[in-house]
Amino acid sequence: MHKVILDTDIGTDVDDALALAVLLGSNEVDLLGITTVYGDTQLRSTIAMHICELVKRDVQTFVGESQPISGREVWMSGSEGKNYKNLSSLNPNPKSAVDYLIQTVNASPQLIEIVAIGPLTNIARAIEASPDFVKNVKRVWIMGGDFSQTKGEHNFKCDTAAAKIVLESQIPISILDLPNSQKTIIRMPEIDRIKDAPILGQLLYLEIMSWITPRNQDWTIPHDPIAAIAMLAPESFDASTLGQVSIDSDGKSFWKESLSGNVTLLTPNDPEKAVERMLELITNCSRA
């Protein structure tokens, strides 16, 4: 059983909502809490709460850091929450996300994994505030970076200072980067399967279409849920040897092999199988 905290910028790209559905749909996951990060974290928290309530799951949700440590200007699409109703009636837990992360992880050393699918500000703040946090986290599963070194990826670029703090810590980290997540494109047949799922299907479909229609796409990339699948179905991924990651000021990420490193990079060895597992769990979540 994976004891998991989801750290997310849910509400912008649809893939965060899909990742939450995957975690809720897995019998192998004890989802302890959800922490939100980047921009309107209050709104993001109510979006996560709404999804959990639809499938009758009581998961505590905590409002996290809204501003990057790096000082970079926050970007939001402006469409966050448009497909949801009555979000203003929902009240996240009053405890801060950073305090929740520190207290929960330190109370259960080496038992809790964090699935981090947004900028890494909350986790960086927890590292800064608690020396014990680093040694007590079991593993952080990250969707982020671009180790082809061609460009800075969104999650790292949005807060390069936070990414540097987290990646250069000694926390065990597994990363699915942008080029490898892009191997798992889903098109309309897969999107229609999500649409047909009970309870969450229509909402997730609306979120997908709201994201892809303005971009004139009939496809999307499930970056974040595939990072969660890497934790749940490791047989569908190849993992690198241990290495160290560095981040430059533009958010570009660099990895080098190191026996004393803390980071492994993940590559889907069977992208279609990973996508199929994702679809199964989303459907399972909707039957809750």
Cα separation of 133 and 237, whole Å?
A: 28
Interval 214-227: pLDDT, tens: 889 998 999 999 99
Q: What is the mean pLDDT of residues 7-32?
A: 95
Residue 63 has pLDDT above 60, yes or no: yes
Residue 186 has pLDDT above 70, yes or no: yes
Q: What is the mean pLDDT of residues 231-237?
A: 95
Residue 61 has pLDDT above 50, yes or no: yes
Report which of 265, 232, 261 is spatially closest to residue 244, judged by C-alpha positions.
261
Cα separation of 219 and 185, whole Å?
A: 7
Q: Which pLDDT score is estimated for 286?
A: 56
Residues in the chain: 288
Q: Which pLDDT score is estimated for 187?
A: 94
Residue 287 has pLDDT above 60, yes or no: no
Residue 150 has pLDDT above 80, yes or no: no
What does the mean pLDDT of the chain come to?
93
Pair 203, 91: CB distance under 8 Å: no
Q: Provide the pLDDT confidence category of residue 85 given band limits of 50, 70 and 90.
A: confident
Tell whether the torsion through CA atoms of 18, 248, 137 and 181 is positive or negative. Answer: positive
Question: Half-sphere exposure (CA, 13 Å, Cβ side) for 22?
Answer: 27
Q: Which pLDDT score is estimated for 45?
A: 97
Residue 32 has pLDDT above 80, yes or no: yes
Mapped onto helix, strand or coil, the DSSP state of residue 121 is: helix
How many other β-carbons are positioned within 10 Å of the β-carbon of residue 40?
19
More confident: 75 or 127: 127
- Which residue segments constitute the domains of the chain, with CATH numbers given? 2-286 (3.90.245.10)
Structure tokens at 126: 């927890």
Q: What is the mean pLDDT of residues 244-256?
A: 89
- Residue 74: which residues within 8 A CB-CB, separation 6 or more? 38, 39, 66, 67, 68, 158
Top-ranked range on mean pLDDT: pick from 78-92, 208-222, 256-270? 256-270
For the CA atoms of 209, 211, 213, 216, what is the dihedral angle to 10 degrees? -140
Q: Which pLDDT score is estimated for 19?
A: 97
Residue 285 has pLDDT above 80, yes or no: no
* Low-confidence winner among 4-13, 76-85, 151-160, 187-196 (lowest mean pLDDT): 76-85
Q: Which pLDDT score is estimated for 107?
A: 98
Interval 127-140: pLDDT, tens: 999 999 999 999 99
DSSP 28-81: TEEEEEEEE-SS-HHHHHHHHHHHHHHTT---EEE----S-TT-PPP---S-TT
Residue 288 has pLDDT above 50, yes or no: no
Residues of the chain with pLDDT > 90, as a percent, come to: 79
Cα separation of 60 and 92, whole Å?
A: 7
